[in-house]
Structure 1
């Protein structure tokens, strides 16, 4: 069992709790750097998707998890960043300048959405962001001179300062660099007065306002920062998908990002990364099971001479091939997480870590939610 004794205020605001914590992150960094050498190009590409989704998850986490503002329009910000970056590249703008302009345009869009939404909270704000997402999707479809409409827009592989990032390995490290940069920026921002103001707004807007927090300014900053990060994710997303079309950036993609932060764990940067691993790797896992389950069941049926196993395996394979199954599995997992583990994947990891760090003195009621009472209820 290891106890941490705090002797200064700086221990509360530094990046790592102690040297042990920093050493674990160092080992993680080494593992992430050498992983591509141990995997095929296919799995390197899937890991790249995790990084891109993680950047988008951090974007939405800053808004939903730390500021308490729910958005269903972040697929629109992703599309603005992707289309803006692709448009600038087609007109000969250098890659770094193109990404900067795409992030700037997306940030401005976030401010435009955030300002009218300052007077709305809860479900009304969610509906407003949903309407924004629908409007932007129509813009992608109709503004053919920029987006090429449903004909689509091809996106070339990135070339930065004359260095090509055309293979899976190089693009993997490019996305990893931006993920680390975004994590570092967001972590430092959350330790600043701005981040603390966001958390105060999330917990209680009235209490935050009584402490001098300007709700309009900090909500606008949250929307702008969240949209800017999603614009960066959109630029990388455009290169990864290689061909943009309006039907990619639908409400389902926004729900997928919201699922990411909820399943990963609200109010945690670790949760954004855990959720990205889940959201990015579940579709290929379903595809693998779709082919492997019938084959393995057929082999078992042949070995055991039981035809029923082959019939069951074929039925499972046909079920997984039906359209909409993936969305249904996402929804089922979301319901189960909300019911069984409201703190998400990171919350479960914290419980496991606390169990082993305090064993054998761990108490089952450590994370049990206590019932809260109003003052009038305490008098009964």
Structure 2
């Protein structure tokens, strides 16, 4: 097992805690850079979707996992970014400006939606964001002059500095760069006083307020940053599909996003990408499993929803820390074997949010 002897306070806030982090993350980066020449076009497209959903997941993870504010209408921010990108790009606005505008407009909408969070929380906040999601979906369907209504809206390939991103490889590299930048921004934000204030609010609003943390300001800021990342992901999502319609940003999409961060592991940056991998790969696994199942089960229309529900229930009951929590247990087992004992992680069942001992 690795023990890190710390001699300075800044060692607690370093991005790379030790040489192992540098080695493994560098290896991951090299693998992602060479992916277009290793995997097929289909799997490269799936990897691109994982990066896009990872960006959106980072925003929702910041909101739900680190601030403790749950949103059941997060697909609305995804849709705002997608439609803003579509309208501006088709109007001839350069791609970088359109993408920045989509991110900024989504952040502004997030501020508006974050205002109810100042007075409600828990299930009531979820109901408020759910209602907002329904309203935005209806606006997309009815505002035909701008959004195209239920007929949808087509997009052209993005172009930046004379470079047309009309191939899967070029668009993949764009998503990879933006995913890395978004991850570094979130990691640095969490190391800052603002990120620590988010965590304090998640643990106890009363304690945070007693320490001088302005609840209204930080809750609204969390909603704005989360919505901005969702808007950025929505802009990339729209260009990847080249066509968007209101039914792509409905309540089912919001549930998928929330499912992504819960299964990935709340309160973990890694969990955003692990959840994105789950969200993209699970339909592929279900499609492959249908050939081995009886026709009465494999051809059932609600099979995917049933599998998602069972997986979510299983994680809530047996692994509340998600995929990343399971990985931490496996890593600890390998590090301290044969001294691992069964109840080592039993404490996680005795607390809900913080690292407080009971």
Structure 1 match to 2:277:
277
Structure 1 match to 2:298:
320
Report the CA distance shift for 1:241/1:324 in structure 2 as closer, same or farther (over 3 A). farther
| TM-score where L is the length of structure 2 | 0.95
Cα shift readout 1:258-287 (whole Å, capped 9, x = no counterpart) = 000000000000011100000011112222
Report the CA distance shift for 1:170/1:119 in structure 2 as closer, same or farther (over 3 A). same
Cα shift readout 1:96-134 (whole Å, capped 9, x = no counterpart) = 000011111100000001113211111110000000000
Partners of 2:14 and 2:311 lie apart in 1 by 35
Partners of 1:355 and 1:99 lie apart in 2 by 44
**Runs of 5+ unmatched residues, structure 1:** 294-312, 373-380
Cα shift readout 1:60-92 (whole Å, capped 9, x = no counterpart) = 000000000010111000000000000000110
Report the 3-state secondary structure (helix = DSSP H, G, I; strand = E; otherwise coil) of the residue aligned with 1:267: coil
Runs (4+) of structure 1 exceeding 4 A deviation are none
Partners of 1:364 and 1:228 lie apart in 2 by 42
Partners of 1:152 and 1:284 lie apart in 2 by 26
Structure 1 match to 2:83:
83
Partners of 1:137 and 1:169 lie apart in 2 by 32
Cα shift readout 1:196-234 (whole Å, capped 9, x = no counterpart) = 000000000000000000000000000000000000000
Structure 2 match to 1:222:
222
Structure label with greater radius of gyration: 1
Report the 3-state secondary structure (helix = DSSP H, G, I; strand = E; otherwise coil) of the residue aligned with 1:266: coil
Cα shift readout 1:284-339 (whole Å, capped 9, x = no counterpart) = 22223334x3xxxxxxxxxxxxxxxxxxx5x24x5333322212211111001101
Task: Count residues in correspondence.
Answer: 350
Cα shift at 1:20: 2.1
Structure 1 match to 2:344:
366
8 Å CA contact retained: 2:117, 2:219: no
8 Å CA contact retained: 1:265, 1:346: yes
8 Å CA contact retained: 1:50, 1:281: no
| TM-score where L is the length of structure 1 | 0.90
Structure 1 match to 2:234:
234
Partners of 1:125 and 1:31 lie apart in 2 by 40
Structure 2 match to 1:307:
none
Structure 1 match to 2:126:
126
Partners of 1:254 and 1:364 lie apart in 2 by 36
Structure 1 match to 2:175:
175
Cα shift at 1:371: 4.3
Partners of 1:336 and 1:93 lie apart in 2 by 47
Superposition RMSD on alpha carbons, in Å? Answer: 1.2
The answer on 1:9 being equivalent to 2:42 is no
The answer on 1:332 being equivalent to 2:310 is yes
8 Å CA contact retained: 2:116, 2:125: no
Structure 1 match to 2:95:
95
**Runs of 5+ unmatched residues, structure 2:** 352-358
